[in-house]
Amino acid sequence: MQLGLSVSDSDVSSFTPLVVLELADDTKAEAITWLLNRIRDKQQNGGAELLVNQLLFPAQDDQKPNPNVFLVGSTLQRLLNGAEDVGLFKEFQDGTMRGFTYANRESFKDFNGEIFLSDAECQYIIKHELDTLRAKNEEHVPGYPKLKLYPGKSVVRRLQSKGVLIQYFPLHNKEDLKRLSFSWYKKFKLSFQPLDDIRHYFGEGLALYFGFLEYFTFALVPMALIGIPYYLFDWEDYDKYVLFAVFNLVWSTVFLEVWKRCSATLAYGWGTLSRKKAFEEPRAGFHGALGFNPVTGREEPVYPSSKRQLRIYLVSVPFVLLCLYLSFYVMMVYFDMEFWAINIYNENPDIATSILLFVPSIIYAVVIEIMNLLYRFAAEFLTDWENHRLESSFQNHLVLKVLVFNFVNCFASLFYIAFVMQDMVLLRQSLATLLITSQILNQVMEAFLPYWLQRRRNKKVHKRMRRLMGDKELPLLGQVQLETEMNTYLGTFDDYLEQFLLFGYVSLFSCVYPLAAVLVVLNNITEVYSDAFKMCHVFKRPFSEPATNIGVWQLAFETMSIIAVVTNCALIGLSPQMKAYFPESDTQLILIVVTIEHVLLAFKFILAFVIPDVPKHIQVNLAKLEFDSLEALKKRVSTHFLKKEP
């Protein structure tokens, strides 16, 4: 186990604090006592068997501190048992990744070393134990007669959904964070990211995102290297984009297939590839009439699937269609502005009117970002209102809603210009403006604005602590107070969405604007540093989330690559080069383009089938592990029956 912060303050016992738990400041004393006893109680009594201590902040002049902040830790013995409960995979002595068992702990590599369980793994185990802390015979939370409980109900989720539990989050390890920051973003260097260190500190889910971001950036380099000379030497010749479109088709297919192998290699090395998915508990916000879960046999809310489907198809789907209609309406307003700017330029071509040509696209790009943001809030509200039982189902429906709207909102105007207006000059100008403007806005909203707000919070906290304590340092108190006021990191959803849209700009239309890949490479390089900084210093440390791959986003990127095949084939069909071969027969040209498109799609699916998602050596290791598990099971069964024989 890797030790975290050393606590030696007089107001807490000497133990390693890993998780901060904050209750509402007006929480009833009976509820606090009951919750703490349940956290500390032994497992056989239904408790979590964790260590928990109250953290008392000194009185302040301007505001009363919350007295209900607690630090949660654990003994090494409890963490090792928890590692087995959550199905943690660790490296065995023979180099394979195996599910950890306490009975075979000595057979695992580095078990007796300084580091066996990382901070992220310890905090994940504590989160799992808190989440699975269940009500026994309590009918309600002590002190809250209306806060009903029933046997098997998750205590923490119930308190969280009713606002009694404000938040609980993993505490940063200042020494580890300093080392990670130095190797990750404090030195500007052209090298790979320390993915193992990121995984060690933040967990597999976040490490996979940064692995994908790195891979995507490097994969764009060939596109950028081809795009620069193409831009310089053929910029004025709008006809010669056929070869670039063909290369675009091959690249978008190979890019995703190779990523699957890279993802599998990372997941295997981190022990999540063969890790069994844990049984999903109901979401904290899920509600319904009390019933029984047929799998666990426990009482829990039950909500009819028919009601959920009615909400989806009678409310959510019409709302999404209405938003798409508004998006199309805004797009037509943008084209009216574009024609107005073009007419002014044609009447009086000078520097001012040439600059005016870009104004409609800039305004439209800003409006797109605002509409995407507003729609995101509406989509989250609707998806929550649909009352999905599982978090995975909630995320899938949210991703689908957001992707459909963002795709139409960001790309509809480009499709209209390309295939209705067939104006490649305007397409190039619009794509460049949309891409550059969206990147600038994203950097401001995701990096600079949160950084500025967090710096203001930091100054207030440091000033408050200096005023109260003078030169006396209370590093733990200051750190906890600072982190409780930090923004909560909401996951990789927005980060993957941004990369999805950038992938769309490159794979769909970069043949008419070859510098698109160059701009995305530059954006992603800054994205690595800005995302790394905000993860380390702007947001609360997120809990580790085991991940095998990038999940539903893999399907989203693959869908975009299929659309890219159709789009690039259509652009090839519209090129003067192709039309020159069929000057009198548009039908023949269309048939040939459609045939080429079908051949390329068939090639894409054959390539996806031929290239295995998991490298051969990993397949062999997984098969060997399965064989060893079966043999061990046979031996245990044989031993059991031999003992029974007289």
pLDDT in tens, 145-182: 888 887 777 888 888 888 889 999 999 988 888 889 88
Which pLDDT value is given to residue 263?
Answer: 92
Q: Is residue 371 part of a domain?
A: no
φ, ψ (nearest 5 deg) of residue 485: -95, -5
In whole angstroms, give the CA distance from residue 527 to residue 213: 9
Pair (566, 596) in one structural domain: yes
Top pLDDT among 360 and 285 is at 360
Look at residue 111 and give its three-state secondary structure: coil
Q: Is residue 503 part of a domain?
A: yes
In whole angstroms, give the CA distance from residue 522 to residue 531: 14
Pair (154, 247) in one structural domain: no
Which pLDDT value is given to residue 502?
Answer: 93
- Angle formed by the axes of helices 552-574 and 586-610, nearest 10°: 150
What is the amino acid identity at position 311? R
What is the amino acid identity at position 296? T
Pair (113, 186) in one structural domain: no
Where is the domain boundary, 127, 142, 171? 171
Which pLDDT value is given to residue 13?
Answer: 43
Pair (83, 223) in one structural domain: no
Q: Is residue 42 part of a domain?
A: yes
Average pLDDT for the chain: 81
In whole angstroms, give the CA distance from residue 511 to residue 544: 40
Question: Is there a contact between 100 and 81 (Cβ–Cβ < 8 Å)?
Answer: no
> Taking the CB of residue 635, how many other CB atoms lie within 10 A of it?
10
Pair (470, 597) in one structural domain: yes
Question: Is there a contact between 9 and 53 (Cβ–Cβ < 8 Å)?
Answer: no
Give 301's strand partners: 290
For residues 585-595, give the mean pLDDT. Answer: 82
Which pLDDT value is given to residue 581?
Answer: 75
Q: Is residue 473 part of a domain?
A: yes
Which pLDDT value is given to residue 156?
Answer: 87
Pair (395, 538) in one structural domain: yes
Which pLDDT value is given to residue 644?
Answer: 54
Question: Has residue 61 got a pLDDT over 60?
Answer: no
Number of domains forming the structure of the chain: 3
Strand pairing category for 89-91 and 144-148: unpaired
Pair (550, 499) in one structural domain: yes
Q: Is residue 25 part of a domain?
A: yes
Domain limits for position 629: 615-645
- Candidates 532, 543, 521; CA nearest to 495 is 532
Pair (430, 537) in one structural domain: yes
Question: Is there a contact between 49 and 78 (Cβ–Cβ < 8 Å)?
Answer: yes
For residues 311-329, give the mean pLDDT. Answer: 92
Q: Is residue 552 part of a domain?
A: yes
Residues in the chain: 646
Pair (467, 480) in one structural domain: yes
In whole angstroms, give the CA distance from residue 613 to residue 122: 31
Question: Has residue 184 got a pLDDT over 70?
Answer: yes
At 377-433, the pLDDT tens digits run 899 999 988 988 887 888 889 989 999 999 998 899 999 998 888 888 888 888 888
Q: Is residue 580 part of a domain?
A: yes
Q: Rounded to an integer, what is the distance from CA 248 to the centroid of its chain?
A: 27
> What b/e string do you get for 260-294 counting C-beta neighbours within 10 Å, with b at 16 or more?
bebbbbbbbebbbbbbeeeeebbbbebeeeeeeee
Which pLDDT value is given to residue 5?
Answer: 34
Q: Is residue 271 part of a domain?
A: yes
